[in-house]
Structure 1
Amino acid sequence: MNAGTGTADHEALNRLLKPRTIAVVGLSDTSNFRDYVSPTLDGDAEVFFVHPKHATVLGRPTHPNLTSIGRPLDAIISMMAAERSTLLVEEAAGLDVGGLVCIAGGFAETGADGAALQSRMVTAARSAGMPVVGPNGLGFINVPRRVSLTIASPHKRRPGGISVVSQSGALLSGVAMAAWEHPGCGLNLLISAGNEAVTDLADYVDFLAADPDTRAIGLVVEKIRRPAAFFAAARRATEAGKPIAVLKLARSNRSQQMAASHTGALTGDAWVYDVALRQAGVTVVADPEELVDRLALFEQLDPANWSAVEGLGVITMTGGFASLSVDLAEADGMSIPPLSELEPWVRDNIPGVTVANPLDTTGFGAAIWPEVVRRYATCAESDALLYLHPLADEDESDSTVQLVEEFAKAAQDAGKPFVVTNCSGAPGRFVLDRLPSGKVAAGRGLRPTLRGLQTLGAFVRHREEAARREDTPVPPSTRRPDVATVAVAEGQMLPFGPTLEMIRAAGVPIAPYHLVAAGDDVTGAPFPGPYVVKLADVAHRTEHGAVRLGVTADGLGDAVAELRALAAVHGLPPLVAVQPQVEILGEAFIGVQGESELGPLVVFGLGGVFVEVLQRVGGRMAPLSARDARSLIDEFADAKVMHGFRGRPAWDLDALAEILVAAGRLAVSGRGWIESLDLNPLVFTPDGFVAVDALCLVRAPERRH
């Protein structure tokens, strides 16, 4: 294990998180945490207590130190302060120990002295290949094995297959409480990551991807410290059939600030997390309840009964429930198709009803319920079925029991997700007891259940797509152009000419241009007019009135002279750019962020002022595959301007996708020096797309003129 940089050994983590021998160090009978650890005594692990001052703890004899136990130890928990915990790790490093839990604070989060202690801990753990949960966390709980090496409050937890790792200790308890309220949600491992000094989020996800006891993974994330390792582990989880849902904290930057027209102002860190996680097939959630709801169906349904949920059938007995299901599904971007195959049968058998999906069986439904369920279970257009009804404990009756039993019976050989939900909250015990394991799942109210089905379908589709996807080649790094930069308000800007040549070399078509330096005679451009004439090396030309449109060949000299005079007045670089004025049929915006918290990024939106007025952009982490590029464009499928509008032709979306892929290659190859790069506007002309302007901010030190 490379401590501090991850790659934890699976065998060592398995010993730590599924221990057979445990040492509890520093706990006494007067400790506030004695009752949090004591449930471990009811499990099947052998527990030793270490305390030099107390002969017994929780009725068990103690040992003065680890060495005196004389046994291999799978897991150790330190209940001591930072310095003593560090000494304990150093002692454990010389023994046969699987791993250690450190709950103490006082490490790197407190300053230089704490950082020195943490460095000693990392060095000792690294030398022994020993994972460490924490420090500065709540420890972990293995629910099925009744291992409670934690100071987390002892909330109720039912055993199951959902494992959760949280960088916020308190929210680990929040997830546990939400899981208890969902009758179909059982927990496997609950891990409080703490400072992640030795073992980090990527290590845990990598372990859980291979863990046979984990069926789905929930994460509470403040920061992903090793993005490449984390997303590689997420891919392994996908391959193993284990979905991931992430509750991302620190979202105050989620709103995109549009005050400046460069990519760095468009992309806050929280937004980048959304882009990267969703691109990796990870579901992003807003709170602990949603995290549980999104994963609960994976816990309950056998993978053989999962589907893409592109043909969800909804059956109920009231019009209100049917209508609400459509409204809520549409609000969350989920489709409930009409299932036209069933419409003739519905019209012939249920008086007054013409809509087959969602189906309101009205008062006639109970009499033909077995046939209703059979028809919908075998419908070729439906790949999932939801039964929605008042199903609280108070609703138990012979007729309601029969409805549930017929639904469960139809699920036996259907090979698709069958879900039962109460109209609000969890179904009663009489329902849960009648649901065949792996065949029918219980929801927790309509909207949470629809979200669970949406996540199930999205994961199935992502997994199938990921299995077909070829790795996108990562281009080699390139040096930034060897030219002096220009100081602008946002930082250091690459000059206009070198920027256009750089993007042309990357595969982005550019408009022709002609540069006129200070003192040069204006003898005409090497292409016909009319022209656009502008100060070349100015970041925001419109603010300075530094652009002239529709300039004729005869007026070219006057336009250049005006711009030179303007540059002299405002202290701007005097270089002038001349370009042919093209017919613009549409404008797009493409941005590159050379380095975000999670890596290089490509941003796309409608160009010109639209990106600021609409405050809407999409993004993908780079490099992009052709499939990534098309899916990014598809996020703007509702933008009529791209698909032909008011007599204008539709955009060449294949060419646009190729430009996005080229921008992704540039984002990766220039990540060491590109701060941001904007192609705004990238214009669509009768001859295709061309970049007529670009702004590149670089991180390299300024080179003086």
Structure 2
Amino acid sequence: MTLAASALDRLLNPKTIAVVGLSDKSPVAEFIAPTLHSDAEVHFVHPTAETVLGVTPHRSIGDIAGPIDAVLSVMSAERTVALAEECADLDCGGLVVYAAGFSELGAEGAEYQRRLVDAAARGGMAVIGPNSLGYISMPRSLHLTASADYHPAPGGISIVSHSGAMIGGIAIAARQRTGVGISRLISAGNEATTDIADFLDFLATDPDTSAIGLVVEGIRRPKEFFEAARRCLDAGKPIVAVKLARNARTQQMAASHTGALAGSAWAYDVSFEHAGIQLAYDLEELVDRLALVSQLDPELWNPLQRIGVVAGTGGFASLAFDVAEAEGLTLPPLDSLTDWVTATIPGITVPNPLDTTGFGATFWTEIVDRYVGSDELDAVVFVNMWSDSALYRRLIDDVAAAGRRYRKPVAIAAGAGAVGDFATEVIGDDGVAALGYGIRGTLRGLHTLGTFVRARQAARDAVEAPAPVACPATPITDTGNGSRFLPFGDIMALLQDFGIPIAPYAIIGGDDAVDAPSFAAPYAVKLADVAHRTELGAVALNVSASELTGAVARMRVIASEHGVSATVAVQPMTASRGELLIGIDGRSELGPMVMLGLGGIFVEVLQRIGGRPAPLSKADAESLIEEFRDLHLLHGFRGSEPWHLEQLAETLVGFGNLAAAGHDWIESLDVNPLLVTAQGLVAVDALCIARDGA
């Protein structure tokens, strides 16, 4: 264990705690008070108070004998910094810092943060915050927090949130859901020293954590974060994340280069999915997606690709089918049960979802046995408006017994809301039955479980990044917007170096004689080193051999009129049956991304872009291509040939290598179009924007 990890372990699993600056009049005193019931030794430090929460305080933290694992500061930024500097000379694991007023508040705050960071480094301490609501450990009753105690049940779900107030919202959502328990609630705050990657790394080996929820504003150390996420995946701990500050990526679809197509939320979505982290879009969904995995025995987890639903009424059956379809779950028709259902339940002919209206109680035990025991189903959901009565207790008993008998996940869901506390009493901790929150919440929980299992099964070793490659030429400055882009010939040669198929081309300098190129007419003739040549009318198509000299002359006139380079590019006209957009976004805070979409006007009409973090494996490329199967173009339709999918996968791998190798200087790279020809794929043009300083 590294020094940083050891310090964080001490801070989050303290044997001794010092709370500094708290008085009985403090508005957070009641929030911290439950810590007195923990198994930790709790000290208070206050310069004048007679008692704090009934305990006689020390006048200085230096008066406490022995090591202090966790120090909670309930003081201002200035006093907290002085405390940190004092702790650096003691044996302290780390600090929890409530105070704001650090780097987010100008020069004075930045100086406070510098001193805090220096003190933490000198003392080998972890720091939660500043501007944090601290943390709560429900199993140990540790409440080093400025958050109210919303009394969630103790359990296995741990949460790390950049937004402090959201840990309270998650606690409330968990409390509303029967059978759902919380292990840790951690407010990361401003992450002066210890960040979300550190917390995730800690949770990967935390025995009290079985599933993890994240509320993310941004990730400071992507490499370390995704390495920690992989350790959680390997440890069998699903991760679900809410990404805050989402961008409307589709509002930028008309932008002129690939980099503008990817808002930060899009990059997070793509990178999280690639890492096996699932997405939620609010706190209730976050808890729902984690609820079932925290209840079910991991030995029973399976890919859950075939779900059965048994409902108490036709309305719930119909609703369950619609919601399952919307949530990406498959309810197979169960043809093998059709004859039995028709013969057993009058008027019912559809086995899945099954409507048991009026006859369910009569045949319930047999229904449960047939559905849970079916080899065609990976899990079964039982939906009703369960009440606290002997009848419903018996029905739920039958479900739990069948789950134990067949060692298969069964989920019990109310048509809306929680099942009720009685279900917990009846089922007990059998590791087979789980309690969902409403139909959608329950199905989302199953979806998360199945997706996690499939992600673990498909987990691949990280792709080795290629050696860096230098920018091949001095970029040209676009006089229109000040961006800097590579000359046409240099970017085309670079694409070719990375295995990306390009069309033949000839470059004619501004003063060069116009010689016939090595390829046959007709030609496409254009100004080579102009970012937006179409807007200047600097493209001529279907130029014959006899027209070439005149076309080049016209390009030079246009260049002179607009004060741009007179270098001309000549290429053969290329017939195509489709166009793709493929590119690189090098601006994401998570690292370079490779992007794929339909080219030409489709990128704006369909507003459909897929991507993967670079570099890509062949399997990554193939899974990205598969995302477009529903469009019925890339994969062939009405007897047409697919769009050279093997070559496309290899091309995406090449782009991933280029993106990773040129990450230091590629801001964006856009090949639009990548033409789909009878012979294969071919790039006829590219725009590569270079970072300042390249």
Q: Judge same fold: TM > 0.5, yes or no.
A: yes
8 Å CA contact retained: 1:585, 1:648: no
Q: Does 1:451 align with 2:444?
A: yes
Higher alpha-carbon deviation: 356-365 or 589-598: 356-365
Which amino acid is the alignment partner of residue 205 of structure 1?
L
8 Å CA contact retained: 2:530, 2:565: yes
The one of 649, 652, 659 equivalent to 2:644 is 652
8 Å CA contact retained: 1:256, 1:267: no
Match of 1:580 in 2: 572
Equivalent residues in 2 for 1:6-17, closer than 5 Å: 9-17=4-12
Shift of 1:426: 0.3
| Whole-angstrom distance in 2 between the partners of 1:91 and 1:570 | 65
Higher alpha-carbon deviation: 20-29 or 226-235: 20-29
Which amino acid is the alignment partner of residue 275 of structure 2?
A
Q: Does 1:340 align with 2:335?
A: yes
Distance 1:111 1:8, change over 3 A: farther
Which secondary structure state, in structure 2, belongs to the residue aligned with residue 165 of structure 1?
Answer: strand
Which secondary structure state, in structure 1, belongs to the residue aligned with residue 89 of structure 2?
Answer: coil
Which secondary structure state, in structure 2, belongs to the residue aligned with residue 83 of structure 1?
Answer: helix
Q: Does 1:612 align with 2:612?
A: no
Distance 1:270 1:489, change over 3 A: farther
The one of 472, 484, 495 equivalent to 1:481 is 472
Q: Does 1:115 align with 2:110?
A: yes
Distance 1:396 1:58, change over 3 A: closer
Distance 1:256 1:272, change over 3 A: farther
The one of 440, 453, 464 equivalent to 2:457 is 464
Match of 2:120 in 1: 125
Q: Does 1:441 align with 2:442?
A: no
Higher alpha-carbon deviation: 444-453 or 347-356: 347-356
| Whole-angstrom distance in 2 between the partners of 1:450 and 1:647 | 37
Q: Does 1:566 align with 2:566?
A: no
Shift of 1:553: 1.8
Distance 1:256 1:476, change over 3 A: farther
| Whole-angstrom distance in 2 between the partners of 1:470 and 1:72 | 41
Match of 2:350 in 1: 355
Q: TM-score, normalised by structure 2?
A: 0.97
The one of 239, 242, 249 equivalent to 2:244 is 249
Which secondary structure state, in structure 2, belongs to the residue aligned with residue 57 of structure 1?
Answer: coil
Distance 1:9 1:569, change over 3 A: closer
| Whole-angstrom distance in 1 between the partners of 2:523 and 2:262 | 34
Q: TM-score, normalised by structure 1?
A: 0.95
The one of 667, 671, 676 equivalent to 1:684 is 676
Higher alpha-carbon deviation: 448-457 or 56-65: 56-65
Shift of 1:701: 4.0
The one of 497, 522, 530 equivalent to 1:530 is 522
Match of 1:625 in 2: 617
| Whole-angstrom distance in 1 between the partners of 2:570 and 2:582 | 22
Higher alpha-carbon deviation: 336-345 or 132-141: 336-345
| Whole-angstrom distance in 2 between the partners of 1:185 and 1:436 | 13
Shift of 1:266: 0.2
Shift of 1:256: 4.4
8 Å CA contact retained: 1:343, 1:356: yes
8 Å CA contact retained: 1:142, 1:190: yes
Q: Does 1:18 align with 2:13?
A: yes
Count of residues in correspondence between the two structures: 692
| Whole-angstrom distance in 2 between the partners of 1:507 and 1:647 | 30
Higher alpha-carbon deviation: 405-414 or 342-351: 342-351
Shift of 1:55: 2.6
| Whole-angstrom distance in 2 between the partners of 1:175 and 1:604 | 36
Higher alpha-carbon deviation: 491-500 or 40-49: 40-49
Higher alpha-carbon deviation: 654-663 or 489-498: 489-498
Shift of 1:515: 1.6
Which amino acid is the alignment partner of residue 421 of structure 1?
A
| Whole-angstrom distance in 2 between the partners of 1:521 and 1:341 | 78
| Whole-angstrom distance in 1 between the partners of 2:367 and 2:302 | 21
Distance 1:414 1:630, change over 3 A: same
Q: Does 1:279 align with 2:271?
A: no
Shift of 1:562: 2.5
Task: Indicate the percent of aligned positions where both proteins have the same amino acid.
Answer: 53
Shift of 1:486: 4.2
Shift of 1:488: 5.0
Q: Deviations over 1:639-684 (max 9, x none)?
A: 2221224554221111101100110000000011111101111111
| Whole-angstrom distance in 2 between the partners of 1:403 and 1:374 | 12
Q: Deviations over 1:46-83 (max 9, x none)?
A: 21111121232122111111221212222111111112
Match of 1:668 in 2: 660
| Whole-angstrom distance in 2 between the partners of 1:344 and 1:631 | 39
| Whole-angstrom distance in 1 between the partners of 2:370 and 2:380 | 11
Shift of 1:595: 3.4
Which amino acid is the alignment partner of residue 478 of structure 1?
V
Match of 1:4 in 2: none
8 Å CA contact retained: 2:247, 2:263: no
Which amino acid is the alignment partner of residue 557 of structure 1?
T
8 Å CA contact retained: 2:43, 2:57: yes
8 Å CA contact retained: 1:302, 1:439: yes
Q: Does 1:372 align with 2:367?
A: yes
Which secondary structure state, in structure 1, belongs to the residue aligned with residue 492 of structure 2?
Answer: helix
Which secondary structure state, in structure 2, belongs to the residue aligned with residue 355 of structure 1?
Answer: coil
Shift of 1:387: 0.5
Match of 2:139 in 1: 144
| Whole-angstrom distance in 2 between the partners of 1:538 and 1:192 | 49
Q: Does 1:307 align with 2:302?
A: yes
Which secondary structure state, in structure 2, belongs to the residue aligned with residue 294 of structure 1?
Answer: helix
Higher alpha-carbon deviation: 266-275 or 522-531: 522-531
| Whole-angstrom distance in 1 between the partners of 2:640 and 2:562 | 40
Unaligned runs of 5+ in 1: 2-6
| Whole-angstrom distance in 2 between the partners of 1:573 and 1:343 | 74
Distance 1:62 1:317, change over 3 A: closer
Q: Does 1:203 align with 2:198?
A: yes
Which secondary structure state, in structure 2, belongs to the residue aligned with residue 616 of structure 1?
Answer: coil
8 Å CA contact retained: 1:486, 1:537: no
Match of 2:592 in 1: 600
Which amino acid is the alignment partner of residue 555 of structure 2?
L
| Whole-angstrom distance in 2 between the partners of 1:439 and 1:489 | 64
Q: Does 1:517 align with 2:513?
A: no
